Each structure stands twice: as C-alpha cells, then as structure tokens.
Amino acid sequence: MKQYLPNPVNELMKASYTGQLSRRDVMKRGGALGLSATVMGTILASHNAAAQDASPEASPAAAQPAGWSIVVPEGLPDLAGATISAMLEPDGPLAAFDQASCDMFAEATGATVNYIMGPPTDRLVVMQQTMAAESSDIDVAMIDVIWPGIFAAHAVDLSDQVGEVEFFERIQENNTVDGMLVGLPYFTDAGLLYYRTDLLEKYGFEGPPTTWQELTDMATTIVEGEAAANTAFTGFTFQGGAYEGLTCNALEWQYSNGGGSIIEPDGTVSMNNDQAKAALELAASWVGTISPEAVTGYMEEDARAVWQGGNAAFMRNWPYAYSLSAASDSVIRDVFAITQLPMGDGEGATHAATLGGWQMFVSRYSENQDAAKAFAKYMVSPELQKARAIERAALPTIGSLYEDEDILAANPYFETLFDVFESGSVARPSTPTADLYGEASLEYFSAVSEILTGSAEVDSRVEDLAASLEDIMADV
Ligand code: GLC
C-alpha cells in the first residue's frame, strides 16, 4: 500500500535521499527533467551518500517491532468502500509507525487507506502543486506548523472534529486562519540539545553547555582529544542544509542571542541587527572546525546518522531522535542525555527552541471528505498521540498526556521541558507572512546557507536579506 506520488521529481528525491543514485546521477537526471538550481540544491542537500554502508544503528526503522502500542479509539465510523490517500512521513524511521496507523484505521473502519510517503524535501512544493491543481490525489496530509496560512484556501474546516479534546491553545490558534481550523494538532516539536555524557565526563565538564560559546569551547576540546583515535569524530552536528530545517536552527541561534525572530509578529522586519549577525558569525565559525564541512548539506537524518554512529559530542535535533538514540540497538543508548539548547550572550539572550510540529489537514478537493475527516480525527486522538509519544518520542498536543505514566517512563524529559513544549518555544514568522511564508523562509535559509559556506559576508548579506524580506512583507 506504500506509494509515492507518481511524479518524477519525487522519484528523484527518494533516490537521492535513500542513496540509491550517486550525486552525479541525481544531477544528470535533474538536468534531464529541467529542474531549477534551487530545486536541485534541495534535492542534493538530502543526498545520502552513506546509505549503502550505513550501520544498522543509523536506520533502525526496519528493526521496529510489529506490534506497536497503538490502541484504536472507540466509536470509529463504518467506512466500508471508501478510499483515501494520506500524505504522511517520508520514508525513514517514522514510516513504519505511520503505516501501522493507516493499517489499523483501515481494519477498524473498512476503508482503504493509501499511505503516500511525503517527499523528504520540497514537500511544500509538492503540496502546493497538488492543491493548486485542485487534485483529489491527496485527501489528508500532515502539514507543517508553518503552513496553515499557505493552505487555508484549500482546506476543509476541521473545527467540528475537535470534540472534547483539549489541544494546546497556542497550536490551535496557530492553525486557525480567518476562523477556520485548517489543521488538527497532531504533534508538536521543539529543538533540543543532545549531548554525550561519557565524553563530558572524560574531558572534565560538569554539565552541558549553557551558552553557544561554551558549546564551541567544549566541542573544540573534545574534538582535539578524540580526533586522533577517530578521524570521523566531530563536535557538533545540526541541520545546516539550505532548507526549512536551517531556518529552524538559525532562528534559535539569533533569537537566543537577543537577535529577534526575523520578522516580528506585528510584521516588522527585525532581521538587520548586530545580535543576529553575531549569532550567524559564530555559527559560520563552526563549519570545518567543530562541525564537518558537510554540515552545510545536512538535514535531520544526516545529523542523526553522525550522532548515532557515536561520532559527535553534541547534536541539535527534534525529539524524534530521542527514541532512536535510546533504542536497544543504539550504540550510544546509555551515554547521552538531552537538555534545552544553549543561549547566546548578547543583550536579551535567552534559551530558545524553534516551534515545530505537524497538523492533520483535509483537502477540500477530496472526494471522500467524511472518511478523510474521520481519519484526521483518529490520527490526532489521545490514543494515537500516546502511542506515537511512546514509540517515536513525538510531543503530544494534549496537555494531559504529559502526565501519563507510560509516556513519562519512555520520555522522562517531557516533564522537565513541559513549559517549552506547551508555550515557550519560538515561532517562525509564519503568521505575519501568511501565504508568503515559503518565500520568506527561502530567502532566509538561502542567506544563512551562504554565510555558513563562506560564500557571503555576514553584514552585507543580512542587509540584502532584510531588504528582500521587506519586499515580501509589502506583498502580504
Ligand atoms: C520538523 C518540524 C517542522 C520543521 C521541520 C524542518 O519536522 O516539526 O516544523 O519545519 O522539522 O525540517
């Protein structure tokens, strides 16, 4: 039942992401398809050169138990004869869980559910194209927390599906556009710092770093000490590729240094300031020192592969990496911990975690809206959220689940970081940019990428970026 959108770009993305094709072949095929440099850049950013020789620890999806802890909620409707297609997680460590969720819904309702794996890159573009064509190929989709403004015009209002469930207010508000609930909150996300407890101890550090400068210094010491025995060893791994993940990482660097949130909630472009520039400058200094040069192409799974292979002292990633790092087949399972990300030391410095997360969206072009709505509601139900929290460390969007003993046993840090998860994270500027968020983020991560790779100088590049963001805001 697994299927990708029958689209040559998706196929190429998949081949690149899974390492089925060499970089050269990906470029050749992209050229033949006439893809733009930007699209090719994003596809290549996800290229998994290590796929063929990846250790089993780096991709434990296949090793997951078949049973999962999914409990099917009661009272699902009879949907015999209905067929829906749901675009969910990409191929990777979360796919098996999504497949099981679809299968169990199908079994309980009689509906046929096609699981379409989301493309790992350019998912937004694929969704935009599908919706612009008013295509019924996708009935339900996971949409990113930054997309409600983009897809409001194509959505079915889901306010009548909320029922008794008390979702986090902030996310429900985020997902409401002109009074319409564009997505049901499925799971939330926040950037976290993963660190190696054994290495901190070995080098005499008492605890994880609280500032980015401390992280830089600690990583430098650890890399110096480890490099002789392990040439693959690196200090800090993060999402430095030119894609949405870099927007999330860089927002954390600059916001935590008192450098604002790119475009403020009232629409003011605040990008051009010294604290943001200083934060980007420090990040650029990591590339090729405490981080590998290749980090400028890393997405989540690339960063995790290095970390999970035991080859990094620190990693910035989302909570999903916790369950995988702690899995029984993980080489680092007993020697890591997580905490909040470090902060800067500029004026107004504060810890910052970018708000991430995914929502269930139903397309107004769906020819099976009732089944699609029932599926969306099922996916965000407390039962499914609980299973996903236990199995995949997904952060629930329902407050009471943070008191659930089984969830806390699997994820003890859910308790200590509750405030961050509930309301304390920093939002990307998707509300003020509305349906132009994609353009604004593209401008931002492209500029940051040029700064990281050293092809642009911070001051002038940030000034140009601020000017482009002003232009975008003039069109909102
Ligand atoms: C995670 C977050 C999402 C974010 C993405 C960036 O999936 O949940 O909000 O946009 O990472 O790569």
Residue type, 35: L
Assess contact for 18 and 97: CB atoms under 8 A.
no
Cα gap 200→202, rounded to integer Å: 6
Nearest CA owner, ligand 1 atom 2: 356
- Strand partners for 361: 141
Kindly state the average pLDDT of the residues 321-333: 94
Question: Other CB atoms closer than 10 Å to residue 347's CB: what's the count?
Answer: 10
- Coil, strand or helix: which one is 72? coil
pLDDT in tens, 373-390: 999 999 999 999 999 999
Indicate whether 190 pLDDT > 60.
Answer: yes
Q: Which atom of ligand 1 is nearest to the CA of 355?
A: 9
Cα gap 264→329, rounded to integer Å: 43
Cα gap 418→424, rounded to integer Å: 9
* Look-up of token digits 């003039």: 474
Q: How far is the CA of 245 from the centre of ligand 1 (A)?
A: 6
Cα gap 199→336, rounded to integer Å: 9
| Cβ-proximal residues to 204 (8 Å cutoff; 6+ apart), any chain | none
pLDDT in tens, 52-84: 333 333 333 333 444 578 999 999 999 999 999
**Domains in the chain: ranges and CATH:** 2-190+357-426 (3.40.190.10), 192-353+431-474 (3.40.190.10)
Ligand 1 pocket, 357 CB below 6 A?
A: yes
Kindly state the average pLDDT of the residues 447-459: 98
Nearest CA owner, ligand 1 atom 11: 245
Cα gap 112→69, rounded to integer Å: 22
Ligand 1 pocket, 342 CB below 6 A?
A: no
Kindly state the average pLDDT of the residues 234-239: 98
Per-residue confidence (pLDDT) for residue 120, from 0 to 100: 86
Kindly state the average pLDDT of the residues 32-42: 56
Kindly state the average pLDDT of the residues 294-320: 97
Indicate whether 122 pLDDT > 60.
Answer: yes
Cα gap 367→263, rounded to integer Å: 38
Indicate whether 18 pLDDT > 70.
Answer: no
- Strand partners for 355: 190
Kindly state the average pLDDT of the residues 233-237: 98
Of the chain, the percentage scoring pLDDT greater than 70 comes to 88
Per-residue confidence (pLDDT) for residue 52, from 0 to 100: 37
Q: How far is the CA of 387 from the centre of ligand 1 (A)?
A: 20
pLDDT in tens, 273-296: 999 999 999 999 999 999 999 999
Q: What are phi and psi for residue 20, nearest 5 degrees? A: -65, -30
Cα gap 195→198, rounded to integer Å: 9
